[in-house]
Structure 1
């Protein structure tokens, strides 16, 4: 019997092991595998635990082609930053041997989650936004928004960033990233988003902020904050005006932005298409320069697993992982 080991890659090592390029590639590939039926996600468990206003849950899945099985456990603790000085999102990824079920790795999930979430929106921007997109709009200016902005700026030759946040004092977070990229930044009101060619929403809102009349024809919107029943960042009428894509249909219609449009009878489940179908060439994607496209990114477990497997491989190869015999 061969010796079984557990590989541990702590949170502090992840930024040195994981790049935006690697995250983008892993997410693009796993979206394509999902659309091809080669990988699937398990139903999401996400619950309010009745303590510290926290939402906690599990996202998992199995990629048969890559031989990756596992889950991410974690959630959102809204009081962390104020009380503990740590980020509100906390998570850990566990990987298992699909042949035996034995645990093989534990990987810090916070930085990983931020990069893979940003990668998902940037994959959607690459495949769905107009090629001549020049103005990038940001709704939300928290920790995750800076990751979103950096990743998005690498997809197109953007010339300007505009932003809105419920708490305007946080907008300098976005301005700093834009400045690093050599681009001007402008704070706008919500109707000012009509000037954007691409809009990313990344908030924790339970009421719509971006309305249908805030969006111009030809815009691509990446909705990245809604991942729980009841959350909502954009007006349901916007989905009725748009061609809607998602990471996974089942999640989109149950815990994503599509939940509200479907409940209102504005769209049907068959109106929502996996982004992976565009990546695979099974769907043409954007049909015209006037079309509004919308990506409903709820975040799937397979994103975390694919990125985690890549991290483990690099960490073992360069000797930075902790390997424990079991």
Structure 2
């Protein structure tokens, strides 16, 4: 019997200390490239409602050539807000593909947040007009904040952010987060805010269309985050036929993303742009849209990065895990 095996635990605070935006961007870029080249596999997603009112999901995959295997168990529990906690919950497990033994357990909340923000940043870099100066964001929660943060990193001419809240009220804390970095304005007319923006970001619970299709002007780019489960949507019915559609995973987008509402819409996987398998010329009047459902390889490449960093620097807990 082997009795010297160890299991590494990386908790919330350690994850947040180890995460660096630039490193996460490169890990996510690698994830999309691996997916494009067929070197990284994405297994079917589990996403099921619970009688408790929550939604439970599993995203898993592997990169056989790199010995990378694992999954993220995650979901959404809205009642957590009443407990003073975060409704999104995620835990990542890395597994040794040679033995099936667990190698590392990582708090996945911050990873999910930042890898999704990094994907949004890549979408803007690859698809948005380089002169994009005005952004409209639906939502002011954790994901909306990280999407705006990455937009500010990659859109050099960004000068104005308009935000829309679910209750129509100002969000002072959201404004304060970006104070001094960009003009941040609360918008009450959703269609007008969309029509006057170069980039639109939707980061809501996906309970229904957020604006009218006619509000989206030629040349706009949209990053859509909130549709990640069957039945969710943020976009109006008539929009997808007008756009050049990009997805992280074609099958997954058609099952749980915005693309579920128009599954026959032609689309390109974002990884194919990164690897150069597909090249596009963005015309000034093109409306581009990135349907972001989040793939397991994003979680795994970022988790591996943190695992390796924790082993090098030591900010983690090591448990005896004999077998």
TM-score normalised by structure 1 residue count? 0.93
Map of 1:101 onto structure 2: 100
Map of 2:71 onto structure 1: 71
Mark the CA change 1:170 to 1:307 in structure 2 (over 3 Å): closer, same or farther: farther
Map of 1:145 onto structure 2: 144
Q: What is the rounded CA distance, in whole Å, between the counterparts of 1:104 and 1:38 in structure 2?
A: 22
> How far did 1:18 drift?
0.3
CA deviations over 1:12-38 (Å, ceiling 9, x no partner) = 211110011111111111111101111
> How far did 1:4 drift?
2.0
> How far did 1:287 drift?
2.4
Secondary structure of 1:230's aligned partner: coil
Q: What is the rounded CA distance, in whole Å, between the counterparts of 1:161 and 1:314 in structure 2?
A: 35
Selected match of 1:288 from 280, 283, 291: 283
Asked if structure 1 preserves the Cα contact closer than 8 Å seen for 2:90 and 2:107, the reply is yes
Map of 1:50 onto structure 2: 51
Q: What is the rounded CA distance, in whole Å, between the counterparts of 2:148 and 2:237 in structure 1?
A: 24
Map of 1:119 onto structure 2: 118
CA deviations over 1:154-177 (Å, ceiling 9, x no partner) = 011111111112123363343223
Map of 1:237 onto structure 2: 238
Secondary structure of 1:210's aligned partner: coil
- 2:199 is the alignment partner of 1:198: yes
CA deviations over 1:67-88 (Å, ceiling 9, x no partner) = 211000121011212x211111
Secondary structure of 1:278's aligned partner: helix
Q: What is the rounded CA distance, in whole Å, between the counterparts of 1:196 and 1:173 in structure 2?
A: 22
CA deviations over 1:111-169 (Å, ceiling 9, x no partner) = 11111111111111111101111111111111221111111210111111111121233
- 2:320 is the alignment partner of 1:325: yes
Asked if structure 1 preserves the Cα contact closer than 8 Å seen for 2:129 and 2:219, the reply is yes
Stretch deviating more after TM superposition (271-280 or 168-177): 168-177
Q: What is the rounded CA distance, in whole Å, between the counterparts of 2:41 and 2:237 in structure 1?
A: 27
Map of 1:169 onto structure 2: 169
Q: Structure 1 stretches of 5 or more lacking a match?
A: none
Asked if structure 2 preserves the Cα contact closer than 8 Å seen for 1:141 and 1:170, the reply is no
Q: CA RMSD in A?
A: 1.4
Map of 1:304 onto structure 2: 299
TM-score normalised by structure 2 residue count? 0.94
Q: What is the rounded CA distance, in whole Å, between the counterparts of 1:116 and 1:260 in structure 2?
A: 25
Q: What is the rounded CA distance, in whole Å, between the counterparts of 1:170 and 1:313 in structure 2?
A: 42
Q: What is the rounded CA distance, in whole Å, between the counterparts of 1:210 and 1:152 in structure 2?
A: 21
Asked if structure 2 preserves the Cα contact closer than 8 Å seen for 1:257 and 1:296, the reply is yes
Q: What is the rounded CA distance, in whole Å, between the counterparts of 1:224 and 1:286 in structure 2?
A: 24
Asked if structure 2 preserves the Cα contact closer than 8 Å seen for 1:142 and 1:173, the reply is no
> How far did 1:286 drift?
4.6
Q: What is the rounded CA distance, in whole Å, between the counterparts of 1:176 and 1:153 in structure 2?
A: 15
In the TM superposition, 1:189-268 aligns within 5 A as 189-191=189-191, 192-262=193-263, 267-268=264-265
Q: What is the rounded CA distance, in whole Å, between the counterparts of 2:149 and 2:109 in structure 1?
A: 17
Secondary structure of 1:7's aligned partner: strand
Asked if structure 1 preserves the Cα contact closer than 8 Å seen for 2:127 and 2:282, the reply is no
Q: What is the rounded CA distance, in whole Å, between the counterparts of 2:147 and 2:94 in structure 1?
A: 26
Q: What is the rounded CA distance, in whole Å, between the counterparts of 1:50 and 1:286 in structure 2?
A: 48
Map of 1:80 onto structure 2: 80
Q: What is the rounded CA distance, in whole Å, between the counterparts of 2:29 and 2:283 in structure 1?
A: 23
Q: What is the rounded CA distance, in whole Å, between the counterparts of 1:79 and 1:286 in structure 2?
A: 46
Asked if structure 2 preserves the Cα contact closer than 8 Å seen for 1:142 and 1:170, the reply is no
Equivalent pairs counted in the alignment come to: 317
Map of 2:27 onto structure 1: 26
